[in-house]
Amino acid sequence: MFKKLGEKLRDKKPDKLLAHLVSLGIDAELVKKGAYEDIGKPSLWEMNASDMGSIKINGKEIDVIQVTKYSGAEYGPTYRIDYAVKGRIGAKEERVMAKTKLKKKGFVHKIGWTSGGILDISWTGGEIADLLNEDESLKELMLREQIPKFGIIEIKPDKNKPFVRISTGEIFPSEKEFECYNTIAKHISSLIQ
């Protein structure tokens, strides 16, 4: 009885994201709680965050997608998606740490989106930022598709498991957005594999 009730109350975002990814032609499957690929929320100290589940990606540079729900926001719950790449980082975590620096037109609203669009994009951080800044085709794709549409993209190592996370606020990526995150994952793989 309690299992059925829990299933009814469970947030369905991972299920919807899985169906969306499959509709894009991506080979994906839900990960069971406690499995190796269940990477969990980014930090145990994020008290307002709930681990919503992980999705394993097959045949791509991205290994796992993690969905985290944040409660208490002024506009209702928000979600963060982490595209994770499996691999050992070693002692130099800063090599794989980066975030986007966006030049925008218009004005930025307090919940993170911009009214006018992105004029330019660059990366700040470690060695991964240098690789991403050198990739002109990635930059062209991000500018053409206006990625990220919400907030910034941040890259950092997981504190608990051997994964590097690519964090964004966009929960249902378009085919081009997924291609963008997969390209970023490819550059990360070149540093950690």
CATH code where residue 128 lies: 3.30.1460
Rounded to two decimals, what is the model's pTM? 0.85
pLDDT of 100 strictly over 70: yes
As a whole number, mean pLDDT of residues 58-86 equals 86
Q: In what order do the strands lie in the sheet with 98-104?
A: 28-30, 49-57, 64-70, 78-86, 163-168, 154-157, 98-104, 118-125
Quote the number of domains for the chain.
Answer: 1
Per DSSP bridges, beta strands 98-104 and 78-86 are: unpaired
- In this prediction, residue 9 carries a pLDDT of 35
Domain carrying residue 8: 2-192
Task: Please state the rounded mean pLDDT for residues 6-16.
Answer: 60
